[in-house]
Amino acid sequence: MGSAKSDLTARARIRDAALLRFGADGVAGASMRAIAADAGVSPALVVHHFGSKEGLRQACDEHVLAGMEGGDDLEGEALARVLAAATPARRYLARSLLDGTDAATALFTRIVERTEQWLAEGEAAGRVRPTSDARARAVVYVSWQLAPLLLGEQVERLLGSDPAGTKGARAGLEMLTGGLFTDDHWLRAFTELDR
């Protein structure tokens, strides 16, 4: 019987293999047997650690969300850190969000909720401008951050670098920090539409 440490190592190997396989094939298209083979373990060990494919998917979600934890300043910005991190987590996140499942909806909602909290903390600390609709700001911000996952190849081709790299991040931060428009013409126009 293996030690607790080797069990954790096997668990992490299985989870990492699932991130890759789910990212490539989607959750529905990936088999537990293929994930086990990728991790170099038996299918029974996958079931032992995660119970089912759904349990494994939940572990992958938690792993991606855990990557968003920590860091309470702008340098610790959570979602951008995950997007700039390992490609398997990025591919997994993209594929998961496109699955259209209840699990994908729950994952997106959790990311928005964490981002909304992060932005509120930044607002309280004076690093983020106030808004009239905190929830809408968080949803739009997350959508903008996730767009390169869907358009990654096109963005990379035109930028000449990884969309999550410094060139794309800098362009985005310049727009978010300084603004894009020089006046409030478009804001006033859209505000009128709401009336």
pLDDT given for residue 176 in this prediction: 85
Domain boundaries, the chain: 1-62, 67-181
pLDDT given for residue 130 in this prediction: 94
pLDDT given for residue 63 in this prediction: 85
**Model pLDDT for residues 6-19, shown as the tens digit of each residue:** 555 889 999 999 99
**Model pLDDT for residues 78-112, shown as the tens digit of each residue:** 555 555 555 677 778 888 888 777 888 888 898 89
pLDDT given for residue 75 in this prediction: 39
**Model pLDDT for residues 33-77, shown as the tens digit of each residue:** 999 999 999 999 999 999 999 999 999 988 887 776 654 443 345
Q: Is the dihedral of CA 154, 156, 158, 164 positive or negative?
A: positive
CATH class as words, domain 1-62: mainly alpha
**CA distances for 155 relative to 45, 97, 148, 168, 171, angstroms:** 40, 19, 7, 9, 12
pTM for the model: 0.70
